[in-house]
Each structure stands twice: as C-alpha cells, then as structure tokens.
C-alpha cells in the first residue's frame, strides 16, 4: 500500500481526554460528588491528580493525600481504611456510568487522524481506566462519530492497571503485534505515559485536549491567547516531565509524529 508504514505496527490510544471527552471532564465531578456523599470535600484539581489509573486505585490515591486523609479523619474519626476506599468506589462507579455517555463525543479531528493511520496499515488499539460497564455507555457514541478501535482493554481485564504495562500487553496480544518498540502509546496522563514507557513503546502525550489542560473544547477556544499559551506550556512540561517522547496538542496532530517515529525506526533507533 502506497504510503504505508513498514516499521510502526500499531498505535494504542487512551479514551477520555485522548479520543473522547475533551478535557477529560466526565470523572471529575463524579469524584467530587462521591467524596461529598461521605462528608469530605475534594477539589477538581485534587481529583485530576491520579487520572489515568484504574478507578479504585484512583480513589485510594486520593485517600492517601494528606489533606484528604485528614479531612476524612475529622469527619469519620479515623484515617481512611480499605473498606472506606471500597465504599467510595462503589458509589463512584454507578455515578460515572450515568454521566459517561454525556461526555463521549469524539474530539474533533481525532477519528479522521486514526482512520488515516489505519489506511496506512496500522492496527488501532485502545486502553482505558474505565470499566467495561462504563465503556458500554461510551463506545456506541464514539462509533456513531467514526471511531471504532480494533481492541478495547478496560480496567479489570488485567491483574493491574497503569502504570503497569499489563493493559498494553493485552492489547498487543489482541492486535497480534510485536515488538513493543514498533508500537506507539498515546495518552493524556502522566501515568498513561508511564504505562507506555514500562511497556517498551514510543510514547506520545496529548496536551491540550486532555486531563492536564483540563478544559472543554468551548472553554479552550474561549481562552485569551496568552492564557492558552501558558496552559499549553504547563501541560507540555508535565507530559515531557513524565517521559513522553513526543507531545501533541491532540490526536488530530498524530500523523507527522508517527511518520517521524517510522523514520527513526528505519534508522535503527529504539525508544
């Protein structure tokens, strides 16, 4: 096939903040509300910190923050326990299922870019911190808007989630691709970049459409140029600090980067 890739085999993409849900907004309010139901206030910024992890470990990470742990102790008379983590998680999941479909629109340009990668011979994998129950609300909307990956690996499908590479390895098996250095992991979170690095992949951070930038498309477009530039620079710095080999504004910009990786592989370079 003319223009096809000879060395890059697959791209494995995250979902919220990468392919759908500009700003990764769906889980944020749900985390805040879930903790509020137990009498503990958390902020959106605190909720964003562990984004990309499976949701129970995400709850556990929030519980481990000193400020939140102390707020829990003040409200409940003890520091958070494993049972408390389970209780918050059990409240969180059905709430997230309820809202996920409202935040499932494909980010502009992402489906078209992925379609071009597929046309050039790449397999398209995906992994997510969402459970299959949550993804059941997301995938029909994404499909109607032109995005259907070749595989979906969810929280609960593997022994552990990010930053381990287990979901990535499961995607490799389902896609029947190897070696890892012939694949690209695309994610909007630091823990997702760590997943790709731990799995031996090239990694691409998504700065503007994702969790680190943290705004809807409309709110992003409404920013003054100087504020946009400052927020973008901060997001790029965080993802580069996490070890991303490349950082783009959004998946719409992915093709030149995959082309650059193809050229590096052709020269014998490895991630």
The number of beta carbons lying within 10 Å of the beta carbon of residue 5 is 20
Provide the Cα torsion 128, 196, 216, 93; round to 10°.
Answer: 30
The number of beta carbons lying within 10 Å of the beta carbon of residue 239 is 26
Residue 14 catalytic? Answer: yes
Residue 55 catalytic? Answer: yes
The number of beta carbons lying within 10 Å of the beta carbon of residue 145 is 17
Query: Considering 21, 55, 84, 188, which one is annotated as catalytic?
Result: 55
Query: Considering 14, 21, 187, 253, which one is annotated as catalytic?
Result: 14
Residue 11, SS3? strand
Q: What CA–CA distance (Å, rounded) separates 161 from 169?
A: 11
* Contact indicator for 209, 250 with CB cutoff of 8 Å: yes
| Residue-wise DSSP of 238-269 | HHHHTT-SEEESSGGGHHHHHHHHHHHHHTT-
Sign of the four-CA dihedral 136, 137, 143, 147: negative
For the annotated catalytic residues, the residue numbers are 14, 55
């Amino acid at each position: 096939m003319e223009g096809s890739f000879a060395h890059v085999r697959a791209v494995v993409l995250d979902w919220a903040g990468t392919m759908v849900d500009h700003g990764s907004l769906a889980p944020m309010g749900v985390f805040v509300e879930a903790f509020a139901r137990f009498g503990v206030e958390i902020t959106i910024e605190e909720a964003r910190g562990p984004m990309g992890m499976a949701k129970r470990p995400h709850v556990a990470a929030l519980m481990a923050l000193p400020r939140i742990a102390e707020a829990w102790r003040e409200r409940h008379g003890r520091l958070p326990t494993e049972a408390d983590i389970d209780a918050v998680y059990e409240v969180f999941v059905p709430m997230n299922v309820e809202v996920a479909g409202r935040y499932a629109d494909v980010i502009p340009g992402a489906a078209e870019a992925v379609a071009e990668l597929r046309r050039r011979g790449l397999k398209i994998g995906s992994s997510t911190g969402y459970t299959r129950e949550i993804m059941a609300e997301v995938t029909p909307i994404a499909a109607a808007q032109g995005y259907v990956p070749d595989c979906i690996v969810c929280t609960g499908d593997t022994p552990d989630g990010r930053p381990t590479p287990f979901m990535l390895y499961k995607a490799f098996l389902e896609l029947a691709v190897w070696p890892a250095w012939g694949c690209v992991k695309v994610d909007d979170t630091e823990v997702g970049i760590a997943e790709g690095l731990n799995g031996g992949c090239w990694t691409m951070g998504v700065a503007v459409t994702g969790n680190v930038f943290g705004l809807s498309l409309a709110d992003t477009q409404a920013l003054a140029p100087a504020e946009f530039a400052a927020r973008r620079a901060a997001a790029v710095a965080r993802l580069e600090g996490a070890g991303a080999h490349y950082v783009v504004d959004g998946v719409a910009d992915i093709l030149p980067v995959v082309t650059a990786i193809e050229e590096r592989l052709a020269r014998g370079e490895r991630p």
